[in-house]
Structure 1
Amino acid sequence: MPLNRIAIGEPGEASQPDALKAAVAEFFSMLIFVFAGEGSGMAFSKLTGDGPATPSGLVAAALAHAFALIVAVSVGANISGGHVNPAVTFGAFVGGNVTLLRAILYWIAQLLGSVVACILLKFATGGMKTAAFAVSADVTPMNAFVLEIVMTFGLVYTVYATAVDPKKGNLGVIAPIAIGFIVGANILAGGAFDGASMNPAVSFGPAVVSWTWDHHWVFWLGPMIGAALAAIVYDMCFICRGTHEQLPTTDY
């Protein structure tokens, strides 16, 4: 059971150079991801004169987020594991792959990276604000909550299958591509309903800059539950490690 491997961490871990470097890497990876992903939406709005959402806009958002995430995961993989998502970090924590103290460092860095990216976007675009994630008019918060659970389950399941599983072999080389592709595919599936966040930090930055918090809990609770379920299911069904074995954080 992966929950048996959950660890708090040593008190001094948060100040260790490798942990701090990993947090900095998460900050920059998140900044890269959010700047490109959210920036694509702002560019589309500018080109269409703030027109209504269209299928082409959804495809553009999916491609931008997929490409940006492939890069963001790749550049952080050798330093922090390239989580680029508080939900992925939570899944790693639930599976016993990172300690709570390191997870907290990652969460702080990821949230700051998202906020800074949105502030830079606002400044660089002459005052345009990144649009906060919102539940569509014909979708209830509970519908969006379930959608976020399922989409994030797929994302973290992919992370475990391609990057965490010790049997992955050469499959780990394509992990960033697989992770980026599942995020892009999920945006195509869920973007019209709630924006398809799957990432609390991606939702947090635009919410701070625009100060819009409607149904914001959906974009935190849904991804965290989905990530935890994916970690537990994959670990119990396919990894089957000893209860005291722990993977190094650089494995993903």
Structure 2
Amino acid sequence: MTKDIETAEQRGGEFSAKDYHDPPPAPLIDAEELTKWSFYRAVIAEFIATLLFLYVTVLTVIGYKVQTDPAKNTVDPDCGGVGILGIAWAFGGMIFILVYCTAGISGGHINPAVTFGLFVGRKVSLIRALMYMVAQCLGAICGCGLVKAFQKTYYNNYGGGANELQPGFNKGTGLGAEIIGTFVLVYTVFAATDPKRNARDSHVPVLAPLPIGFAVFMVHLATIPVTGTGINPARSFGAAVIYNKEKAWDDQWIFWVGPFIGAAAAAFYHQYILRAAAIKALGSFRSNA
């Protein structure tokens, strides 16, 4: 904190403020947002982005399963299709693209867990958070619906891209994997968009969507063998709605509870420990007293 504002003596008797500005906390309920076109434009952007995200990624997952099905024999036996690495690239790459495209409109959340984490960190209002989550879930349903419309037989025969706990793992392990994976993602989101970091490291060009996309990529590499990797409740919900099989619904709670816990933990860690928001608030209270 001592580096944020230098004293007048340190600046030769001339006061100079810190070179970055923390935006004020978002109001809990901001009814005025409902009167602005920019708000509805942002909601639409979240819907379309999540639709495109599910369309491309679920098609990739199903295509990989078709390619590696011995009965189909569509590829050389020595070639395993895109593999887990390719699936991880599809998810991480699409997040990079879509966050880049929508960040200036909606913030590029494309994930209810990210929205929830930013709400906990007081970056978005409750109204915006709820509307974003609804738009993301509807977009995910429509994206998976398009996949099924184009490849109904493959969609039904190869799992519909639905997230399910993989054989050999218990529900506690799956929940833990989702918590940690979402923590990595949401922590990256906070770090990549931190105004203090952008000001301090302004000599290093930082493209925020890039580390966020890489976080998604790395988490998928680690978590696909455990849960198929959710870390995005809308992604898991949309696939479960369209696929609509018992196993996908039985495990669905893991892909909501885990990401929300991980997102809340990441928001608390970044805002109240790394950025010392609690200490700053206490210092401000003492100064006023």
- Flag structure 2 segments of 5+ consecutive residues without an equivalent: 1-24, 72-79, 282-289
The answer to whether the 8 A contact 2:60-2:87 is kept is yes
Alignment of 1:162-173 (within 5 A): 162-169=192-199, 170=202, 173=206
Alignment of 1:1-252 (within 5 A): 7-49=27-69, 57-129=83-155, 130-169=160-199, 170=202, 173-212=206-245, 213-241=249-277
TM-superposition CA deviations, 1:52-82 (whole Å, max 9, x none): xx79521111011111110111111000000
Q: Please say which structure displays the higher CA radius of gyration.
A: 2
TM-superposition CA deviations, 1:20-74 (whole Å, max 9, x none): 11100111111121111111011112222377xx795211110111111101111
Indicate the SS of the match to 2:105.
coil
Between the aligned partners of 1:165 and 1:144, the Cα distance in structure 2 is: 34
The answer to whether the 8 A contact 1:161-1:168 is kept is no
**RCO higher in structure (CA 8 A, sep ≥6):** 1
TM-score, length basis structure 1: 0.88
2:22 maps to which residue?
Answer: none
1:249 maps to which residue?
Answer: none
Aligned CA-pair RMSD: 2.1
- Flag structure 1 segments of 5+ consecutive residues without an equivalent: 244-252
Q: Pick closer, same or farther for the CA change 1:15–1:205 going to 2, 3 Å.
A: farther
Total equivalences in the alignment: 238
TM-score, length basis structure 2: 0.77
Q: CA deviation at 1:155?
A: 0.5
Between the aligned partners of 1:125 and 1:50, the Cα distance in structure 2 is: 19
